[in-house]
Structure 1
């Protein structure tokens, strides 16, 4: 695709599909959710090869290294070639486990849970999260 020597960070993050729109990428930069070497950067910051950026996007944290400059937005398979994801494994696992939490459901018409029911639900959820965090760290 078209490569350029000067490229803004907001346009780059949009082109590699980190953010859905360029406006969201620009707003993230202004809010301090995009950092270079621990320093907040402006949306107009020029991207250079081999720079490492820390990006916070809601509960998700990403660490990416620039491997190529991409001016226009392309499909996801092509966009992966222009950056290297260096996010630590424990950050990725933490974000994914949030979506794998047990979904507790009560029968329709069962009413509100009693104090005893609430304690049982809390114990089940606590056991699930303790078991997952212990199993993730036992592999090391």
Structure 2
């Protein structure tokens, strides 16, 4: 389970501690610039050490975690939680996330007035 070398690839670690569902999602997030290690943009193969701060923007929220244990293979949820210290801001409430301009199904294409109202709701 634990790696003896002292470093693990950042994409592998993110996947191993269940911050993303697949390793390819973790690698894609790194390539897109959504992963930062100690404030610097991370490539998928960048090594991660114990004590590093990893920032991941995934699924509409930012996760800020500090590495407390290195794992190279995917572990279960109880073990995964022990591998990092979560300093993430609280997740937004579901009501707030869903409140952004919702149209009824089958309502058709929005009119110009509807579009302007939606843009005003979104703050554009």
Q: Fold match, TM over 0.5?
A: yes
CA RMSD of aligned residues (A): 3.1
**Which has the greater radius of gyration?**
1
The 5 A counterparts of 1:1-140 are 2-4=1-3, 5-89=6-90, 92-93=91-92, 97-99=96-98, 101=99
**Larger helix proportion, structure 1 or 2?**
1
Residue-by-residue CA offset, 1:62-114 (whole Å, 9 max, x unaligned)? 1011010011111112110101110123xx23677315x498869x9x999xx
Structure 1 segments, 4+ long, off by >6 Å, are 102-106
**Larger strand proportion, structure 1 or 2?**
2
Residue segments in structure 2 that go unaligned for 5+ positions in a row: none
Residue segments in structure 1 that go unaligned for 5+ positions in a row: 113-117, 127-140
Instruction: Report the TM-score when normalising by structure 2.
Output: 0.73
Q: Report which structure shows greater RCO (CA 8 Å, sep ≥6).
A: 2
